[in-house]
Chains A and B, each alone.
Chain A
Amino acid sequence: MDLDKRMTLKDAVAKFIHDGDTVYYGGFQIMVPMAITHEIIRQKKRNLTTIESSTDVGGLDIMVGAGCVSEIHTAWIMNWYVKAPYAIRRAFNEGKLKRYDISNFGATSAMMAGFLGIPFIPIRGNIGTDMLKYNPMDLKVIEDPFGTGKITVVRAWRADVAIIHAQKADRLGNVVSYGTRGVTDEFGAMGSKRGVIVTAEEIIEPEVTRSDPDRTIVPYYKTLAVVHCPYGAHPSACRGYYGLDIRFSQYQGRYERYADLLPAFLDEWVYGCKDQAAYIEKYKSKFGQEGLDRLKPKLGFKPKMDVDYGYHDPVCWKGVPMYTDDRLKAYEDAIAAKKGGK
């Protein structure tokens, strides 16, 4: 099969994200799908519900500020570099945003339950707190049916569509992520009902992906769209490609802070840029090539382990007689004689 799922960011978001969808918002304190965030804002998607565990560069904050999101389920959201979730705070105060709080492992477990295709999963945390009190939609306490006492259970979260950023993907939709993998992306993505939109720094050949499938976090059949998108996580980091842009996150955060200033940021950096390439050009024109250069990571950390995924071809057994010896043969013969005697 060779189904080419590559498309533009614009087409991917237009085709696969609908108003009212529940969206798994990828990344953690790294690999935040910022290019997709911007495109969702540009296309003025509405009434989205988001699920994720933690997110730090203000991507969800500007998506809420732009009016795209009406419900969030989260463990931790803020623009960590200005130490607040300003737009989310305002939207919650104005009654425009429903917010459901849970712990990080609660969120991860909720997505793991979605990944496993089961309705809920027990976890140790959240019990005894106000998260339990104010988020009965996601959290309950039950008696362990096996008799160990009280235990928290979290409802499975399953998104309609997942949005993630990765280092590499192939045209079929195999998604490769490494280095900081395994926060929640594989659960959030695999638990999605319709599938995954991925932006990737590089598009690689399927034969390259298949040469190291241990690194594939989403197999092709779950993927809806593959978008080649360098700097697709900026200002968040992408391991091996660029580091966190602290100064830009702080700059964006100062706009997030004021309701009447945020639209100017969106006009300039989102609506005013037709795609991620235009956004990066805008960045260079405003903060210089040296701004981007500062994000270059130290490289030279290729694995020192030589791995060979060798396999064994069972064709070598063709024509090889059964191994035996006199003891085994005598015993088996005796059993056979007894059976024959009945």
Chain B
Amino acid sequence: MADYKLTELMTIRCAREIADGEVVFVGVGLPIMVAAYAFATHAPNMIMMTEGGAIRATAPPALAITVDDPAAFLGADATFGMLATMAALQRGECDVAFIGGAQIDKFGNINSTGAGDWSKKESFTYFAGSGGANDMATSGKRVLAIMPQDKKKFVEKCEYITTPGFLGGPGEREKLGMIGGGPNCVVSTMGVYLFDDKTKEMYLSEYYPGQSIEKIKANCAWDLKVSPKVKETTIPTAKELTILRALDPTGFYLG
């Protein structure tokens, strides 16, 4: 059994959600690492788009640190800018919108704006804000999210909804005319989650080696439902880890 870091497990697990040939809109942070890995392994025909405005059919020549990193632009197929890539989202051309966040609720709504009650300004702790996450999750055909997990981050209802999941439940996205299908899969620091077709509620589908359903439930603030087919996440192989580590030699993403 290979030794691996949590970030490595998450990256490799996340990449499995991307099918070869898909158009993937890649947000800032670990999604960049996942895209690089997917290109290098099972999805060489992926089409990568970034907020910075690069559209590329090949992996960046070096690991991008930001979505506006020159490495993400070098050798790209087109670099029209954010206008062009976000327009592709709005036209419904992006299969996967791949984002991160700070807090998620049971309907997959994401908070990346801050902690606390915004209207009580003195106690609100600002994070960075939406960036492109809102645009991506509104219009991407399916949303893939990578999230830290504890009881304050997996909550019944987000303190601030920056990015729409299924909002208050089934039918709400449609009522507001959103063209994207909403959240599809969440990869957390403890396990993997999918969404119930009818209730649109997030449920546990996989737990990582070393985790247990009880421990995961204790780190989730709502009454988490668990798939009857719940299983342990397949651990990365030595070969997968070798490929991944070579892509991040300084450990910027993987630690």
Q: Which residues of A contact B (CB under 8 A)?
A: 28-30, 53-54, 56, 74-78, 80, 84-85, 88-89, 92-95, 99, 101-106, 108, 112, 123-131, 134, 141, 148-151, 179-184, 237, 239-240, 243-244, 246, 297, 301
Q: Does B127 contact A (CB under 8 A)?
A: yes
Residues of chain B lying within 8 A (CB to CB) of residue A56: 66
Q: Does B146 contact A (CB under 8 A)?
A: no
Given contact pairs A88-B126, A128-B176, A182-B53, A104 touches B132 in the complex (Cβ within 8 A) = yes
Measured CA separation A131–B68 after assembly (Å): 24
Which residue, of B129, B131, B160, B175, has the highest number of chain A Cβ atoms within 10 A? B129
Minimal beta-carbon separation of B54 from chain A (angstroms): 8
Binds A, one of B33-41, B79-87, B195-203: B79-87
Residues of chain A lying within 8 A (CB to CB) of residue B90: 105, 123-124
Residues of chain B lying within 8 A (CB to CB) of residue A148: 177
B138 adjacent to A130 (CB under 8 Å): no
Interface flags, B119-150, vs A, CB<8A=1, else 0: 10111111111111111001100000000000
Q: Does B51 contact A (CB under 8 A)?
A: yes
B139 adjacent to A125 (CB under 8 Å): yes
Residues of chain A lying within 8 A (CB to CB) of residue B28: 29, 80
B129 adjacent to A29 (CB under 8 Å): no
Measured CA separation A303–B113 after assembly (Å): 40
A131 adjacent to B126 (CB under 8 Å): no
Residues of chain B lying within 8 A (CB to CB) of residue A150: 175-177
Binds A, one of B161-169, B183-191, B211-219, B234-242: B161-169
Q: Does B220 contact A (CB under 8 A)?
A: no
Residues of chain B lying within 8 A (CB to CB) of residue A106: 130, 134-135
Measured CA separation A151–B139 after assembly (Å): 13
Given contact pairs A88-B126, A89-B125, A125 touches B70 in the complex (Cβ within 8 A) = no
Given contact pairs A30-B69, A95-B122, A108-B82, A126 touches B134 in the complex (Cβ within 8 A) = yes
Measured CA separation A112–B86 after assembly (Å): 13
**Listed A/B pairs (28) with beta-carbon separation below 8 Å:** A29-B28, A29-B52, A30-B52, A30-B70, A75-B132, A78-B127, A80-B28, A80-B128, A85-B127, A92-B121, A93-B121, A93-B122, A93-B124, A101-B130, A105-B82, A105-B89, A108-B86, A123-B135, A124-B177, A128-B161, A128-B172, A130-B160, A131-B162, A179-B70, A181-B81, A184-B82, A246-B65, A297-B70
Closest to A90 in B: B126
Minimal beta-carbon separation of A105 from chain B (angstroms): 4
B68 adjacent to A112 (CB under 8 Å): no
B139 adjacent to A101 (CB under 8 Å): no
Q: Does B226 contact A (CB under 8 A)?
A: no
A76 adjacent to B82 (CB under 8 Å): no
Q: Does B173 contact A (CB under 8 A)?
A: yes
Measured CA separation A182–B81 after assembly (Å): 4
Can you list the 6 inter-chain pairs with the closest CB atoms, starting with the nearest?
Answer: A182-B81, A29-B68, A29-B66, A76-B131, A103-B134, A104-B132
B162 adjacent to A129 (CB under 8 Å): yes
Given contact pairs A93-B123, A134-B119, A128 touches B164 in the complex (Cβ within 8 A) = yes
Q: How many residues of B contact A (CB 8 A)?
A: 54
Given contact pairs A89-B126, A104-B130, A105-B82, A130 touches B69 in the complex (Cβ within 8 A) = no
B126 adjacent to A92 (CB under 8 Å): yes
A181 adjacent to B79 (CB under 8 Å): yes
Measured CA separation A75–B175 after assembly (Å): 25
Closest to B133 in A: A103
A182 adjacent to B68 (CB under 8 Å): no
Residues of chain B lying within 8 A (CB to CB) of residue A128: 161, 164, 167, 172-173, 176, 178
Closest to B132 in A: A104
B127 adjacent to A103 (CB under 8 Å): no
B162 adjacent to A112 (CB under 8 Å): no
Contacting A101 at CB < 8 Å: which of B83, B89, B113?
B113
Measured CA separation A277–B28 after assembly (Å): 32
Residues of chain A lying within 8 A (CB to CB) of residue B26: none
Residues of chain A lying within 8 A (CB to CB) of residue B138: 124-127
Q: Does B179 contact A (CB under 8 A)?
A: yes
Given contact pairs A30-B70, A84-B127, A182 touches B80 in the complex (Cβ within 8 A) = yes
Closest to A151 in B: B177
B132 adjacent to A182 (CB under 8 Å): no
Please name 5 further chain A to chain B contacts, defined as beta carbons within 8 Å, in addition to the given A131-B134, A179-B70, A180-B79, sorted by A numbering.
Answer: A56-B66, A99-B126, A103-B133, A129-B162, A240-B70
Minimal beta-carbon separation of A110 from chain B (angstroms): 13
Q: Does B244 contact A (CB under 8 A)?
A: no
Given contact pairs A95-B122, A101-B130, A105-B135, A127 touches B178 in the complex (Cβ within 8 A) = yes
Minimal beta-carbon separation of A249 from chain B (angstroms): 10
Residues of chain B lying within 8 A (CB to CB) of residue A95: 121-122
Residues of chain A lying within 8 A (CB to CB) of residue B178: 124, 127-128
A129 adjacent to B66 (CB under 8 Å): no
Measured CA separation A151–B177 after assembly (Å): 7
Measured CA separation A111–B95 after assembly (Å): 27
Q: Does B192 contact A (CB under 8 A)?
A: no
Q: Does B221 contact A (CB under 8 A)?
A: no
Measured CA separation A181–B73 after assembly (Å): 10
Q: Does B67 contact A (CB under 8 A)?
A: yes
Q: Does B247 contact A (CB under 8 A)?
A: no
Minimal beta-carbon separation of B181 from chain A (angstroms): 14
Q: Does B118 contact A (CB under 8 A)?
A: yes
Minimal beta-carbon separation of B111 from chain A (angstroms): 8
